[in-house]
Amino acid sequence: MYDIIIVGAGPAGLTAAIYGRRAGKKVLVLEKDTFGGQITFSPKLENYPGFEAISGNELAQRMLEQALALGAEIDMDTVVEVHDGFIKEVIGENSTYLGKTVIIAAGSKHRRLGLDREEEFIGNGISFCAVCDGAFYAGQHVALIGGGNTALQEAILLSETCSHVTVVQNLPFLTGEAKLVQALEGRKNVSYLFSTVVTAYEGSSELEQIRLQNTQTGEEQILPVDGLFLAVGTEPENQPYRAVTDQNDYGYIIADENCRTGRDGIFVAGDCRTKAYRQVATAIADGATAALNACRFLDQ
């Protein structure tokens, strides 16, 4: 029996674990995939307080080590369902876990374009992480889909090793921070296709080219590429919690700034909840808030 079961070991979940253990609660963290969540895909964080620059991997590792040092239990399992009640049942693929409170910090996953053969080409020409896979395309031509902060960070990193990077953006402009846009300016091996979308992936066993269409003129073209990086945002992974939470049309769990859901003893933190901003700093704030409120609930 745990006082707090936390689903997800990203910044929000690990922060919740740290706060829960410091309050003397018995804490279990369940993670199905990667400790650290989405930040592990960021080669450099420059807006996290206390560090002029730090990699997402290093920051995640430090959080994990701190939670473990405080005595949090961490297990690898995929949660498929949560049952509400005086005692909560968290149903995983490997086991069932009992807790007095639950903090859902499930985060989000990389958004796909939803085109034919997309899943087939993931790992065979389609990637999501430049820091993970960029080295495989050194000296080659890659396409980068997206125009936000993550996309621009990926483009900067890829431009340092790839022969050419073509940024494909569905809008007429880039939406990332001005600092990142400026960092890309003047890089002769980076070009842009604005108001353009990918309509098809083509290749035999690996991705060889993509079909593109200009959304303003309707003009179509084929772009041969050695690889493609998708950076078109993320989507929440909240399907297992539909029975115990209210969710908006986009699948985010509806909660107030106190990270409370509509169920007693069930809280939500991080990118999987409704909120204005999704940053590492806001995820950590959520983790602390959710844990403090879970402790208050337990101590009533």
**What positions carry a catalytic annotation?**
129, 132-133
Residue 279 CB contacts under 8 Å (≥ 6 apart), including other chains: 47
% helix, strand, coil for the chain, step of 5: 30, 30, 40
Residue 153 CB contacts under 8 Å (≥ 6 apart), including other chains: 42, 43, 44, 130, 180
Backbone dihedral angles phi then psi of residue 127, each to the nearest 5 degrees: -135, 170
Four-point Cα dihedral 270, 271, 276, 280, nearest 10: 70
Residue 292, SS3? helix
Number of neighbouring beta carbons within 10 Å of residue 160: 12
Backbone dihedral angles phi then psi of residue 260, each to the nearest 5 degrees: -90, 140
**Burial (CB count within 10 angstroms: exposed 0-12, middle 13-18, buried 19+), residue 119:** exposed
- Contact between 168 and 145 (Cβ < 8 Å): yes
**Burial (CB count within 10 angstroms: exposed 0-12, middle 13-18, buried 19+), residue 238:** buried
Closest to 21 (Cα-Cα) out of 67, 90, 74: 67
Backbone dihedral angles phi then psi of residue 272, each to the nearest 5 degrees: -85, -5
Q: Which helix (H) or strand (E) holds 85?
A: none
Question: What gap in Å lies between CA 201 and CA 228, rounded to an integer?
Answer: 10
